[in-house]
Amino acid sequence: MSLNSSKRRLITVGVAVVIVVAFVLLGNMVRVPYVALSPGMTVNTLGDVDGKQVVQVDGAVDPNPTGHLNLTTVSVTDGLSLFDALGLWITGRGQLQPRELYFPRGTTPEQMREETKQQMVGSEQNATGAALTYLQRPTVPGVGGIAANSPAKDTLELGDILLAVDGRPLATVNAFVEEIRSRKPGDTVALTIKRGDAEQTVDVTLAARPDDANQGYLGVTATVFNADPNVKIIYNVGDIGGPSAGLMLSLAVVDRLTPGNLANGEFIAGTGTITPDGTVGRIGGITHKLAGARGDGATIFLVPAENCAEALTDVPDGLELIKVETIGGAVDALAAVRNGTDRPHCS
């Protein structure tokens, strides 16, 4: 072999090494516009977090029910490199989703954390409302959210209790919603509220709804607040955000305010948003939540009816999927589990 041939071979090998090194470096440095979804932690709403009850009910009928009613979560991993994404795609250990679905352009991580925190606060308020409404405990309508463009943003505050609209007393959230819906843009309404221990009446001029220019818009989300002086409900969910824990939190409240145990010693997990009237809504990442729950030992999972079709695409062995549409339906299904009778399943 000639000297020139040896040099050419060395140069070729060197170039190949440089290319490989550059590829590895780029693969580890280049960030892709995706996040990875995978099973997250579960939390027993009948248990403790950092020494505090996840759902604390002062004035409870049964302060220490047994068993598991676990809320479930999805882990979202951001900052993926090209190699990370390729590895997850090849192994199937995580589901890749466009990053903008979870971190919209123009929002900072701090803003997203605050948003998910506020979603959890709303979920807790709705859980309280749903549970107390189901149990026919005293409740009052109140301000659970205020939109950024709300005509009332400088007048109302979160936590205000809604007593009347134009002098007409309000007994329920639906009554408040119907009063506002009956008004036109430009109408001024007199809202009687209770803030702290003081009552006051404030005037607000309605704007036009973004989706209906002929309907009045206040930009307030009404929820149900506890009005039972003998009951106080406090949530300690830890570092968890989002709206999907509502169903399981509401069931924990029901369990503590009624005799007996909803779970009856079983390991039950579930998910679902909840509205003050007790309606259970769909959530994201259902298959990851099923996997996380089964991995922690759950044998029964409460699935929002709207998520059943997706849930059936990947059911872990040994996990029974019970379909739920309302908090009342969930309580009835758990009674059927205790009694060994038929309950609605995803099918």
CA angle, corner 132, sides to 131 and 138, nearest 5? 175
Contact of 77 with 22, CB cutoff 8 Å? no
- Which alpha helices (H) appear in 49-172, and where do they start and end? 82-91, 109-134
Give every CB contact of residue 314 below 8 A, 6+ residues apart in sequence: 287, 290, 291
What one-character-per-residue DSSP string does 143-183 give? EEEE-TT-TTTTT--TT-EEEEETTEE--SHHHHHHHHHTS
Give every CB contact of residue 332 below 8 A, 6+ residues apart in sequence: 343
Predicted confidence pLDDT, tens digits, the chain (347 residues) = 455 565 556 555 444 444 444 444 444 455 667 777 788 999 999 999 888 999 999 999 988 888 999 999 988 777 777 666 666 666 656 677 777 777 777 777 777 777 778 788 888 999 999 999 999 999 999 998 888 889 999 999 988 999 999 999 998 888 999 999 999 999 999 999 999 889 999 999 999 988 888 899 999 988 899 998 889 999 999 888 888 999 999 999 999 999 989 998 899 999 999 999 999 999 999 999 999 999 999 999 999 999 999 999 999 999 999 999 999 999 999 999 999 999 999 98
C-alpha–C-alpha distance, residues 336 and 266, integer Å: 13
| 3-state SS assignment for residue 83 | helix
